[in-house]
Amino acid sequence: MKVKWAILSLILGVFTLLSGCEPLMVLDPKGPQARTTADVIMISIWTMAFVVIAVFVLFIVMLVKYRASRQSENYEPPHIEGSKVIESIFVGIPIIIVIFLSIITVKSTYEVESIPEGYENQKPLVIYAASSNWKWHFSYPEENIETVNYLFIPTNRPIEFRLYSYGPISSFWIPQLGGQKYAMADMVNKLNLAVDVPGEYGGRNANFTGSGFAEQSFNVTAMKQAEYEKWVEEIKKTAKPLTEEKFNELLKPSHLGQLTYTGTHLSFSPPPEGHHKKEAASTQKDNNGDEKQNPDGEMDQNDMEDMNH
């Protein structure tokens, strides 16, 4: 009876604690990549919950059924050589669970690394996301504008982030839109995301980078395409141009608010050399002698023209 009431009290306490918690951002997805990640997390949680509950149930059954007080004083347990059935179950079930979770993980990894499902035929919006101590610089080569510590993105359009760092390795993460990915100083990583629900979302650096790491966050505003285009036009009319001198000043370790500029730093402070080596290897000449980007390359000709504006 005491064991029964202890278990009921534990369950009641857990539900009381969870009832006061807000939904986790990773379990409140607003895009296809984030939904895939959330589904994998929930599958893992339910699988682990099944294992834990089964173990505790068997543990309680063994305690109750085979406790010493239920046996006679002269009780002698039978001599058991072993059971192939039981041993097969004990070995087979963990193997099945591992195989199941491995298949789910590998499949979902390929899904979140690819262009989001349903967006394959759309041209992605390319945004270069560069980190520095302790801020984020977002360059829009297509629009020829740059923001610091905030993002405006259109809904229902694939977004291709190209990540790198002007300092220590940072981790770019917008929990409600997708998983995290590293921004490093010597290469460019790609992260494909999309958002189908307009709203305000939070992003941050999820990798420790020193004393200012906790405040290296940014805001993300997702809006319809027409509203996004209106925002771009407003920025071009009102924002100041970004100069090399100003950008070098922004790179100094500091905390900043949200800033907006016309032009980008890509022309005078381009992405890492590793990125350009790959780009050069995939660049060919067309019939007129002009450079033409191979489909496997990192940048197309329009990106290069925008960088030189």
Element (H, E) at 103: helix 84-113
- Domain annotation covers residue 291: yes
Residue 7's pLDDT band (boundaries 50, 70, 90)? low
The verdict on 228 and 105 lying in the same domain is no
The verdict on 143 and 283 lying in the same domain is yes
- Domain annotation covers residue 77: no
The verdict on 99 and 244 lying in the same domain is no
The verdict on 36 and 88 lying in the same domain is yes
Residue 289 has pLDDT above 90, yes or no: no
Residue 136's pLDDT band (boundaries 50, 70, 90)? very high
Alpha carbons 248 and 265: distance in angstroms, whole number = 10
- Domain annotation covers residue 169: yes
- CATH number of the domain at 206, please: 2.60.40.420
- Domain annotation covers residue 12: no
Q: What pLDDT was estimated at residue 280?
A: 37
**Which tokens belong to 98?**
């591992």
Residue 17 has pLDDT above 90, yes or no: no
Q: What pLDDT was estimated at residue 10?
A: 63
Place of tokens 């050399």: 273
Q: What is the DSSP string of 117-147?
A: TT-TTSPPEEEEEEEETTEEEEEETTTTEEE
The verdict on 144 and 96 lying in the same domain is no
Beta bridge partners of 161: 127, 191
- Domain annotation covers residue 31: yes
Number of domains in the chain: 2
Whether the ω angle into residue 136 lies within 30 degrees of 0, i.e. cis, is: no
Element (H, E) at 101: helix 84-113
Per residue in 138-194, pLDDT tens? 999 999 999 999 999 999 999 999 999 999 999 999 999 999 999 999 899 999 999
How confident is the model over 83-93, as a mean pLDDT? 88
Q: What pLDDT was estimated at residue 268?
A: 94
- Domain annotation covers residue 29: yes
3-state secondary structure (DSSP) of residue 59: helix
Domain that holds residue 96: 22-66+84-113
- Domain annotation covers residue 17: no
Per residue in 229-288, pLDDT tens? 999 999 999 999 999 999 999 999 999 999 999 999 999 999 986 554 444 344 334 434
Residue type, 80: I
The verdict on 288 and 175 lying in the same domain is yes
The verdict on 99 and 158 lying in the same domain is no
Element (H, E) at 197: none
The verdict on 267 and 163 lying in the same domain is yes
Residue 15 has pLDDT above 70, yes or no: no
Residue 297 has pLDDT above 50, yes or no: no
The verdict on 180 and 220 lying in the same domain is yes
The verdict on 263 and 179 lying in the same domain is yes
The verdict on 157 and 286 lying in the same domain is yes
Burial 55-85 (b: 16+ CB within 10 A, else e): eeeeeeeeeeeeeeeeeeeeeeeeeeeeeee
Q: Mean pLDDT in the chain? A: 84
250 contacts: CB under 8 Å, gap ≥ 6: 132, 135, 137, 148, 256, 259
- Domain annotation covers residue 208: yes
The verdict on 224 and 258 lying in the same domain is yes
Backbone angles phi, psi at 283, to 5 degrees: -95, 135
Query: Would you say the pTM of this structure is higher than 0.85?
Result: no
44 contacts: CB under 8 Å, gap ≥ 6: 101, 104
Residue 295 has pLDDT above 90, yes or no: no
